Amino acid sequence: MQGNENSLKVESVSKYYGYGLLGLKKFKVLDKISLGIPLKPPTIFAIVGETGSGKTTLLRIILRMIKPDEGVVKYKGLDVFKLPRNAVSWYRKEVQPIFQDPYESFNPLRRVDSYIFDAAKRMAKVDKGSIEEYVDGILRYVGLSLDRVHGKYPHEFSGGELQRIAIARAIAARPTLILADEPVSMLDASLRVNVLNLFKKIRDDLGTSIIYVTHDLATAYYIADQIAVLYRGSLVELGSIDKVYENPRHPYTQLLLTSILEPDPKISEKIKPLKLSTIELKEFLAQGCKFAYRCPYASKKCFEKEPPNVTINGVIVKCHLYEKS
């Protein structure tokens, strides 16, 4: 780590949402999350978790769309929520999002090429004379061209093309960090690999770091360098992807790794059935470890006390099992 200068730091961020009749009762969607994403060298950072684990909320906080109730987000040493006025637009240029559903992220009444021209003009400050060349270059980089995109509306493209246009729009702003929220889950299997390969290319050629949010561990392993596993709003395991993958320590990560289905015809002999969860809100409100209700190793302590963060071999695990006594 070379200090704060070249990283995005999330420091013990918590967020509460209300529930109940008037939303007066609160539960924690994110529970003191701390992680750092290096911008140099460029890294692909995977955030993995199931539905309702707080992945998207964390992403929205980093994007400055919602304010955390506790904690700070620091980008290159600056607090993102206390930026001076002129720095807000700088931050908006530096950090670019790509969303899950490409059909919903474009205005259906607006020509898609205008998004890329806008990003080039306003954010990357490309001058008028060379803008067409610049946009064409970026579209070619993602496997399209200005001729094919010019003057067309979102419904004239397929999902895979539109997602590549969304990526082109993001990189047209010359960002240092891209946040991709489930970018391939809406795409067909045969096109998915192409988009994932494009992310690898962006990291290597353009030197852009990428936060890849997904529920799919197989694709996370395919492209990512580091991984954070979320469960019901708390970060249960954090570290380099090879270490976590080969030797998952937290019981939840182990469960997640054993329940992925693979495109392998012999898989049905390898996987053992498990019990289904019936409690969700109860888990968010749990005093101790949030996974305790489903954990095969749970002891009395797990229900009562919040587990500590233990560092083993460069991987942070939030579990009582690894506590030094």
Partner 1 sequence: MNTHIVLSAINISADYILDSKRGLYLNAIDNVSIDFRSDEVIGIAGESGSGKSTLVKILYGAAFPPLIIRKGKVYLFTKDNSKIDITSITREELRKNIWWKHISYIPQNAMNVLNPVKKVKDQFIEVFKYHDERIDAKETITKIKELFMRLGLPIEALNAYPHQLSGGMRQRVVIALSLLFNPRIVIADEPTTAVDVVTQLGILNLLKDWQRNSKTTLIMVSHDMSVHAYMDDRIVVMYAGNVVEVGSKNDIFENPMHPYTKLLIASLIKKGEKKLKTGIAGEPPNLLNPPPGCRFHPRCPFAMDICRREAPPIVELSDGKVVRCWLYARK
Under the rule (CB under 8 A), what is the footprint of partner 1?
50-51, 158-161, 188-194, 196-197, 200, 215-219, 221-222, 245, 255-257, 259-265, 267-268, 271, 273-278, 280
Residue 79 or 156: the one with the smaller Cβ distance to partner 1 is: 156
Beta partners for residue 226, in sequence order? 45, 240
Residue 258 or 313: the one with the smaller Cβ distance to partner 1 is: 258
Residue 116 or 256: the one with the smaller Cβ distance to partner 1 is: 256
Least CB distance to partner 1 at residue 127 (A): 34
Least CB distance to partner 1 at residue 186 (A): 9
Least CB distance to partner 1 at residue 229 (A): 12
Distance CA 17, CA 167 (A): 31
Distance CA 98, CA 216 (A): 17
Q: What count of other Cβ atoms lies within 10 Å of the Cβ of residue 90?
A: 14
CA dihedral 95, 216, 189, 209 (to 10 degrees): 20
In the 8-state DSSP scheme, what is residue 182?
Answer: S
- Smallest CA-to-CA distance from 319 within 295, 285, 283 is with 295
Least CB distance to partner 1 at residue 142 (A): 13
Least CB distance to partner 1 at residue 215 (A): 6
Do the Cβ atoms of 241 and 220 come closer than 8 Å? yes
Distance CA 259, CA 133 (A): 47
Residue 208 or 253: the one with the smaller Cβ distance to partner 1 is: 253
Residue 12 or 197: the one with the smaller Cβ distance to partner 1 is: 197
Least CB distance to partner 1 at residue 206 (A): 18
Residue 24 or 276: the one with the smaller Cβ distance to partner 1 is: 276
Distance CA 132, CA 142 (A): 16
